[in-house]
Amino acid sequence: MKGIEFIESTRYGDDPITSDERSGVNQPELEEPPAGDLIELPDPDRETVHELDLSEAIELRESFRDYTDESLTLTELSYLLWCTAGVKWAFPEGAFRTVPSAGCCHAIDTYLAINRVKGIKPGIYRYIALDHSLETLPAYPDLQEDLSAACFDQPCVKQAAVVFIWAADAYRMIWKYAERGYRNLFLDAGHICQNLYLSVLPVECGCCAIGAFKDQGMNEMLNLDGKDRFVLYLASVGKVDQTEAEPEEQQ
């Protein structure tokens, strides 16, 4: 399907959309239950981050592709996860988080390719937002090499302490909005990534959004089918030497 055909076929008209929600189908789970071991995350203690005015954070927002070898602490990672997908209040039909989502569906899951985080073994993890914990996924050999190759060998992927990987569980959105919901998935991903850009600065990190990746390779790494669940967006994160780093815009 051409892009313009998708836009035309998902336009709102005068008639209400026909969705599973309107047809009386039960709402899908707010989050897929974890199957692996869980690592409890510390509270995102704001005393561990540097104070930064929001207007200043917006002004300083940059994309950084060069990172130091310093590791993130678990508390710093906890803070970044809370800022980008944290649950403020959960209820049976949904959850209010730190980012907006169409219809409060929050159909995007956060996966992490961890390289350097103190107290966490390198590997792939899934953020369980409702419990503020990390699910340990099966060990993945040659993670850094395969992840870098899937991102067209961008150096920032190998240098990063953590790579955030955002994947859609599409039916959580489609249930409410039918085909129109695919638009919302990409909008939601943008909200999440912008929160990451604004939250890395207080923990002396930089990040770079990554839209150039091989879809099939990334989906296979996370054991996603590429149809109902698929990777949308990535971002590399690492400690930055502010005196030497040269910020670049996303390519």
pLDDT tens-place string over residues 177-208: 999 999 999 999 999 999 999 999 999 999 99
Q: Which of 79, 73, 179 is nearest to 132 (CA)?
A: 79
Q: Where are the domains of the chain?
A: 36-239
- Quote the pLDDT of residue 47: 66
Q: Which H or E element spans position 210?
A: strand 205-210
Mean predicted lDDT score pLDDT of the chain: 92
Give how far Cα 189 sits from Cα of 20, 25, 146, Å: 23, 26, 23
Burial code (b: 16+ CB inside 10 Å, e: under 16) for 166-182 equals: bbbbbbbbbbbbbebbe
The tens digit of pLDDT for each residue in 48-92 reads 677 788 888 888 889 999 999 999 999 999 999 999 999 999 888
Band (14; pLDDT cuts 50, 70, 90):
confident
Please give the model's pTM, rounded to 2 decimal places: 0.93
Query: Which CATH architecture describes the domain 36-239?
Result: 3-Layer(aba) Sandwich (3.40)
Band (130; pLDDT cuts 50, 70, 90):
very high
- For 88, phi then psi, to 5°, come to -90, -35
* 8 A C-beta contact, residue 75 and residue 202: no
End-to-end alpha carbon distance in the chain: 25
